[in-house]
Chains A and B, each alone.
Chain A
Amino acid sequence: MNGRDERQQRPGDDEALAGAWALDALDDDERAAYEERLRREPAERRAADELRETASLLGAAAAVPPPARLRADVLAAVAATPQEPPAGTAPVADLAVRRRRRGGPSRWSALVAAAGVLVAAAGAGVALDARGDAERARQVAEARREQQRTAESTLEQVAALLASGDSVTVQVSSGGTATVVRAGDRAAVIAAGLPAAGEGHAYQLWLVHDHGVTPGAVMPQAGGQDGPAVALVEDLGSATGLGLSVEPAGGSQQPTTTPVVVAPLPA
């Protein structure tokens, strides 16, 4: 806690802002910069979390019970609202454990079959393009590794898959391509040239099984003007294909929109 105010590199990157941050008294830019700082400084983050917990007591101290009907409204809305998987590219195996219901055979099986036909019709030329996408995706993976320590191991695994796995590329119905690379029980998906998912939305990966689908990673980088985006599946289990659909940015437990692509897994 020193007085470095005048020497800070960027407004918000300032240890002394812990109180203002905890009280939500920073503007958006400052808050983003300060939270970036907290990600770098675990000890400061612990101290800041304490202050935020303290600040929340000011809210708790102002407690006023809401009208009773609000409870019914909230619980009715909850019953109709899908939950999101944990943030980031969590291993699919973990997400599958969290999932409570399995969907029926549904349209997914038919979509896998249809996608297989599409690949067969597209022929080997498409598969050749996959290598170009794979190389670009590898470069993206390299760049992101420097920025995101938490994603590091995932991206390394993707890079390893890109080097060793078999791939198949399918056209995405809304534009662009999805390349699936498989090595044993693991797979990576490279989404290239997809249209933007839209404000507050992101592409989410799905594992397609004979009996239904299980949720995979959300791919916040996929779509729009950015380069190819990659996601990893740690354990394919009984999956026979992978799909992508547009979901709320945090992801869903079950698809809420028609998938834009379903690709069969390479043997």
Chain B
Amino acid sequence: MGAMTTSRPRAAGAAEPGDADAALAAAARGDQAAFAAFYDATAAAVHGTVLRVLRDPAQSEEVVQEVFLEAWRTAARFDPGRGSARGWVVTMAHRRAVDRVRSSQAGSSREERYGVREDAPYDSVSEEVEVLLEHEDVQRALDVLSPVQRQAVDLAYYGGRTHRQIAEDLDLPLGTVKTRLRDALLKLRDAVGVRS
């Protein structure tokens, strides 16, 4: 699993992740000003994640608010041994956004708009990602992915599709999709320097 340099998963390219970590730790002790700093350090990532998945600004704002309230309530449960504070809150946001996509009827109309038919290429999603990419490490890493790896990652992370759905969408064996998603993230991990 690569060189062991530090004791926790950590994105080397993330902008000053320690700020968010320290702010969240203070917020866990009830410090509202520290929580405001945590919000400032992570709100764009949280909002962008949710917006990318839901594509509806009003719903996205609602989810962002829910996510930060959950982060405030459960700040004491953040385990810095398992990743960064930004990773923690972005993960929380992504899960909520995906849950909403999967549980809502809007999911089906959304699927039509951003579907995965052969002639409605996933590339439209990737292109937007490229436009909005925040930092070069991830950009470089995405270039490292093969087109089919990138397609699978886009469908899963930005499209909110399960690996079973992706297998159906792309008419691939489930095992192939599982492996593809894992290998893509391993490659991405090595490119951006997340290490534990």
Contact = CB atoms under 8 A, between A and B. Distances in A.
Interface of A: 1, 3, 5, 14, 16-20, 22-27, 46-47, 49-67, 70-71, 73-75, 77-79, 81-87, 98, 100, 248, 250, 253
A59 B48 contact: yes
B23 interface: no
B9 A74 contact: no
Given A56-B90, A62-B158, A64-B51, A49 B83 contact: yes
10 contacts: A22-B185, A25-B161, A26-B162, A46-B9, A52-B9, A54-B185, A56-B87, A62-B45, A62-B48, A74-B69
Interface in B71-107: 72-77, 82-84, 86-87, 90-91, 93-95, 98
A90 to B, nearest CB: 9
- Judged by DSSP, the binding face of B is helix
Contact of A20 (B13, B49, B182): B182
A54 B188 contact: yes
B44 interface: yes
Nearest to A20: B163
A23 B156 contact: yes
A203 to B, nearest CB: 18
A71 B43 contact: yes
Given A52-B83, A83-B75, A58 B93 contact: no
Interface in B107-144: 129, 132-135, 137-139, 141-142
B196 A19 contact: no
Given A52-B87, A62-B49, A86-B76, 15 more contacts: A19-B182, A26-B163, A46-B9, A49-B9, A50-B194, A53-B87, A57-B87, A60-B11, A61-B142, A62-B45, A64-B44, A64-B47, A74-B68, A74-B69, A81-B69
